Structure 1
């Protein structure tokens, strides 16, 4: 069976959901794959609180088995912790490079992030472009803003205002599914 690895932080893990195995993005994509009759196993390699450097340090565990599609969603916690965007970009670039070195035929997907309105934009020039630049450099599939249509929409987020609710993930899955389906 072919494997899709969703590699990310709490936004991949399904932080705060009562049933993250079925309500998170990887769980919802698995259902769509099953319903469409494709033979893929979706692996949720999300870790709440993870950063790009943390992801880089745990990557080998997730790519020791065959990977057909690798979906990368990391970086927003770097921003919240004040990491230089150049370090975030370097770490994400290394993750993508290591995946391709280990699995040359693996298809890559990057989930882009936007800068939250509460963050000082002047201090973060360059962050927003990291994902597009990496997608171009690695010739990956690209979703420009992972939380599009969900970020800032109260009824689609948990009370913390940062993490999607189950309904929020349904919106995300509808937006992301065409990108994933095209790679199957």
Structure 2
């Protein structure tokens, strides 16, 4: 009788231990499978730009965004690229589109290459700055890292306007703790013969300029992808 009670107590205790996931020596071991490590999520890079990123006047696949995809593959970085650039786009246009793009593509990184058309149209600099700030904050709230790609305008726009326009990209980046490329067309528009790298309209770079444009963006973007 006593032996039977001890046996029942043993069975009950073992059952309780198993239910609680406890290992008790002499009672029985509860094996717990380890959760498999989650696979690293591939990066999704959303490029929100204007004609400089939309391959205006170029053969398909020769623009800097297409070259970026090849660079990622060459460096064995697991990432996809969504090019949401539109020729003629202003920062206001980007601001109106960014919410839907973030929801649709859920990017991990957002490259904002906008502002040049604002300057060409002589739009107020404060509007451009406010729009860049809005887009940067929206992307960050969605969990993405942001890279702002800066532009400059020719001196015939006036020294004060040109200097303030060039500075606003770094101003926004610093305030929002985002990365920045100060001048997208470095080595393209500031050479001894600045027209050599441009199409006949003198606004849009030729295909041969786009590797240089990628070279200006890639170092900052690569840091963000690590």
Shorter-chain TM-score above 0.5: yes
Q: 1:47 aligns with which of 61, 78, 86?
A: 86
Q: 1:117 aligns with which of 155, 158, 164?
A: 155
What is the TM-score of this pair, normalised by structure 1?
Answer: 0.91
**Distance (whole Å) between structure 2 residues aligned to residue 52 and residue 126 of structure 1:** 16
What is the TM-score of this pair, normalised by structure 2?
Answer: 0.75
- Larger Rg belongs to: 2
Higher relative contact order (CA 8 A, sep 6+): 1
* Unpaired segments ≥5 residues, structure 1: none
**Distance (whole Å) between structure 2 residues aligned to residue 117 and residue 124 of structure 1:** 6
Give the direction of change, closer, same or farther, for the CA distance of 1:181–1:125 in structure 2 (3 Å limit): closer
Q: How does 1:1-184 map to 2 (within 5 A)?
A: 1-19=42-60, 22-64=61-103, 65-103=105-143, 106-123=144-161, 126-151=164-189, 153-184=194-225
Contact kept, 8 Å, 1:108 with 1:140, in 2: the verdict is yes
**Distance (whole Å) between structure 1 residues aligned to residue 137 and residue 173 of structure 2:** 12
* Unpaired segments ≥5 residues, structure 2: 1-41
> Number of matched residues?
180
**Distance (whole Å) between structure 1 residues aligned to residue 43 and residue 125 of structure 2:** 34
**Distance (whole Å) between structure 1 residues aligned to residue 68 and residue 91 of structure 2:** 23
**Distance (whole Å) between structure 2 residues aligned to residue 137 and residue 120 of structure 1:** 26
